[in-house]
Chains A and B, each alone.
Chain A
Amino acid sequence: MARPQKSCAICESGVRVVDFKDERLLTRFLTERGKILPSRLSGTCARHQRQLSTAIKRARQVALLPYIKGFTG
């Protein structure tokens, strides 16, 4: 059975290309642990999901986002 269509939050905000420096936007698409939220759950369209995943990975490289949240080791 087809799941109900969710609308893409990034399309709605009017952003064409996701910026990896936009920490506030990116954190909305992370789980509690800091993993990338699947589009199945967030409803992001395919194009923006692809951009998001690269952007989040870049943001992690420049220490804007953690690789794992709440990890003390």
Chain B
Amino acid sequence: MARRYEAVYIFDSALEEPAVTEKLEKFHALIPQSGETAVEVTHWGKRTLAYPVSGKESGYYVVTKFEAAATMLPEFERALKLDEGLLRHLVVLDEGAQMAPTPSAKDGEEDE
């Protein structure tokens, strides 16, 4: 059964956007998307890490959402671990979490 997942990738900040996009395409080629659901990719860009990871102070963040069968994940994560440009990754179930509204934007919003 396919479930919806969310993945956060932290790439080496030395990599530029085209290189990152290329790597992402390579990773997601391992997971065939069924029908109309496409991989949702959000680039956060370079950010300072809260603590150094493999000696690096900053990383290139990318968040993706995709659908996959649970049996596909071990192979997918193995590929992620082997990649040297990827400092860290996290794959979790997408539970439809939402960001808290910013205090200023809250005034204009209606409930539900």
Q: Assess the A19–B97 pair: CB atoms within 8 A.
A: yes
> What's the dominant secondary structure at chain B's contact region?
strand
Q: 0/1 per residue, A8-35, Cβ < 8 Å to B?
A: 0010011111111110110000000000
For residue A2, CB closer than 8 A to chain B, the reply is no
Number of B interface residues in the complex (CB < 8 A): 23
> What's the dominant secondary structure at chain A's contact region?
loop
How many residues of A sit at the interface, in one of the four size bands?
Answer: 20 to 34
A33 to B7, CA, bound (A): 28
Point out the residues of chain B lying under 8 angstroms from A46, CB to CB: none
- What is the CB-to-nearest-CB distance from A45 to chain B, in angstroms, rounded to a whole number? 15
User: Measuring CB to CB, which residues of chain B are less than 8 angstroms from any residue of chain A?
Assistant: 8, 10, 49-51, 53, 59, 61, 63, 88, 90, 92, 95-102, 106, 109, 111
User: Measuring CB to CB, which residues of chain A are less than 8 angstroms from any residue of chain B?
Assistant: 10, 13-22, 24-25, 55, 58, 60-67
